[in-house]
Structures are given as structure tokens and as C-alpha cells.
Amino acid sequence: MMALLEELFLGTLRISAGAALCVAAVLLIRLLLRKAPRVFSYALWAVVLFRLLCPFVPKTPWSPMPSAEIVPVPDEKYSYVQVSTGISAVDGPVNDYLYRHPIPQREANVGRYPTGEPMVTFPADGEAPLTWVSVGSLVWLAGLLAMLLWGAVSTLRLRWRLREAVKQEGERDIWLADHIPTAFLWGGLFPRIYLPSDLPENIRDYVVRHERVHAGRGDHLIRLAAWLALVIHWFNPLVWLAFWLAGRDMEMSCDETVLRQYSRDVRADYSEALLRQYTRRLSPVGPLAFGNGDPQSRIKNVLNYKKPAFWVVVIALVAVVAAGLLLFTGRSFPRAEIQPNGERFFNAVVLEDRGGSLLAEVSDGFNSGLSAGARVTVTKSVLSPGNYPGGVKEGDAVRVVFNGLVMETDPAQLGTVFAVYLLDENGEAAPNRGP
């Protein structure tokens, strides 16, 4: 059972890492769309939602999104986890830590059944040693269950407050309740609009139109999916930020849709309706119910709203579709996994010093599995002044000692690099400085 939980945890980390990169990209794109209707910003969050919930992302060689792969590398006694994002500045230090903190394998007990047939058993989960993966898995599960419990309690509390709600005469989807301070949409496949019984008549039309736009677009179902994504990835602060910003974009885009439904300018009256809603204490909401969002930003957006020019809509639409297609996919590359079996090494010639890493070309692969001519990225975190009194420069011959894991990006990414040694004119490592 523990092994399954650890596998789910590692898979969630992989998905969350890729989605975090997507969130960062959407945040930048939103800045470019600040003059466009909010519906375009809202649509971009659908890509983030897909990446958070889908375990498999289409891979293309032209995707701008770095891969975020967690690669298990098993050994007889340990299981190594290595990360491949295609970003050497990230992969180097992260993989160095992970390689030095492997996951101990549970040793098999070999025996025989009374019939003489071989019997292989493993220690119970409780007897297995604790690792960062097992501890992280338990913490993740505890947080997930706590989020589900909060959602269930919030939903039950809301159902209790709506127990005496009555259907408004002549309306199929509007219900009036005495114990709610603000209007909201609540439900699953067939949502209802709940209004406070004392809601003033002069703002009721604006409120009802707003909630019906939500229902017509299926925002309540999108909200539920976003909530489930937040439950699974509760440990990722960027997912919380995306959840909040997506909700705000959803509300603002809904406001703009309502404003376009009127033939006259109703921005002042609509803003007053929002303000009067916000003077009330907001009701507790759960995963299937949502209310008014950020009041200050919404009112400011309503007052500044102008019908966008046609060319702005076209440009925004093209930008969102193009960005969505690019963010929808991840970067693909062939990957070769080499089992770590002691130290492996190869000789190479430095092509470029990239600050935190070296770009080198393999001259002799030895036992590394790399062929001559292959380009590799080598982290510089293992360099020391004693080995490099004059620094490393283009054209230097070096010997790289690493853990044997190669991820064949272009250039190839190495797992953990233990040492890098300068070679003399005979192609040999300096005395006492290499294998």
C-alpha cells in the first residue's frame, strides 16, 4: 500500500511541476492581455486546469514548455529519483540532492513453501525505512484528506442553511432563502440561483443575469474541477494563486458579459449593485458554490469597461489560441536511462562556459554509454579552485565522473556529476585527481 502511495505522490509532483511552469507562463501572458476582455484571460486558465488534472500531456519537439519528468532509476539496493526539466541550472543541484538521498529498496526474503516451491516475500510497509518520499507521501495524503473534509463540512453547512429555501414563483432556477447574506450559484449538473429574501428589487435583475451567465457557461462545473485540482496539488502555492486569479477572471468576464446585454450604459447601476452585495457578510462557500469574488477589482473593472474594438478581440483571440496550443504540450526528447553501477566517466572538450554549467563535446565515452561527438551539459557545482587554479576555458579537455544517468536532451543532461578533472597533454587526468 505504501509503495502505491509513494508512486502516486511522485506522479503528483511531476504533474504539479509541469503545471507550475504553465501557471508562470499564463501570468506573463495575462499582462499582455490586460486591455482585452477578461474572457480571454479566463480561457487561458483552462490549459492550467488540464495540466493539473491530466496525468499525460501531449509531447512535441517545438513546445516552449520544459519537460518536468521524474525518472525512477532502480538499483539492487536503492531506487534513485532523477528530475529532467531540460534546464541544467535546475536539474544539476536537484538531481545531486536526490542522488545522495536514494530510496532504500525493501530486501526480499527468499524461502520455500512446504510443497518445496520457492517463496519470495517482502517486509510489511511498516517495517520499511522512512525516506523523504514516504514522509512526503504521508504529508501529502494528510493534506488531501483535510481539504476534502473541509469541502464536505462547508457543503453540509450550506445545505443546512438552504433547508428552508423556497422557489420563486414563475422562475425555474431561482430560489429565495432567509439565511444567506448574498446571492450565489450552487449545484452540480442542474445548478440553482439562490437569492437573499430581502434582496432589493432594483438590483435583482443585475444579480440574476450575472448568475445565469455563470450557469450558461458551466462555470459551476469548472469551479468544481478547479477545486479538485487544488485538493490534489494543495502543497503548490502557484496552484493556490491560479485558483484565486482564475476565479477573479471568471467573475470579471461574467460582469462584462452582463454589461453587453444592456442597450444602455448601466455601469454605475451595476457597480452600485455589486457594492450593495459586498456590504453584506459573505456566506461560507464550498466547492460547488461561489459568490462574488474580489469586490474592489470587480467594481473598478466595471467602471472602466468599454466595448473593445474588433481588432483588439481578433488579436487577443489569436494570441490566446496560439498560447493555449503551445502551453497544452510539453517538450519531447528521447531519454536513455543507464543503471547506476559505480562511477562512470567520459572525456570531453569544453565548448562554452555558461556560468552555472559547461557545454562540452564527448571525445571518448569510455563506460558512460555516451558516444563521441555527443554534446552534454555539465554542472559546475563540483568544481573546486584546487582542480581549476586558472579556471576552465573553451577548448580545455576534461574528464567527467558521474552517476551513470543520461537524459538525452540536446545537449544531453547528466544525473549527478561527482567530479570534473582537467586532462593533461597526454589525455590523462592529473595525478590523484581522477579515476
- Give pLDDT, residue 233: 94
- Give pLDDT, residue 145: 95
What is the mean pLDDT of the segment spanning 84-103? 62
Residue type, 144: L
The more confidently predicted of residues 117 and 354 is 354
Q: How confident is the model at residue 129 (pLDDT cuts 50, 70, 90)?
A: low
Cα–Cα distance measured from residue 35 to residue 249, given in angstroms and rounded to the nearest whole number: 13
What is the mean pLDDT of the segment spanning 94-110? 57
Percent of the chain with pLDDT over 70: 71
Q: How confident is the model at residue 119 (pLDDT cuts 50, 70, 90)?
A: very low
What is the mean pLDDT of the segment spanning 244-269? 90
What is the mean pLDDT of the segment spanning 159-169? 85
Name the residue among 354, 371, 281 with its Cα closest to residue 362: 371
3-state secondary structure of 435: coil
Domains of the chain, with CATH numbers?
2-144 (no CATH), 161-305 (no CATH), 344-422 (2.40.50.140)
> Would the pTM of this model clear 0.85, i.e. be above it?
no
Cα–Cα distance measured from residue 374 to residue 376, given in angstroms and rounded to the nearest whole number: 7
What's the mean pLDDT when you consider all of the chain?
77
Cα–Cα distance measured from residue 323 to residue 423, given in angstroms and rounded to the nearest whole number: 47
Instruction: Give the Cα-Cα-Cα angle 312, 314, 317 (nearest 5 degrees).
Output: 105
Query: Chain-centre distance of CA 398, in angstroms?
Result: 38
Angle between helices 237-260 and 295-303 (to 10 degrees): 40
Measured between its terminal Cα atoms, the distance across the chain in Å is 42
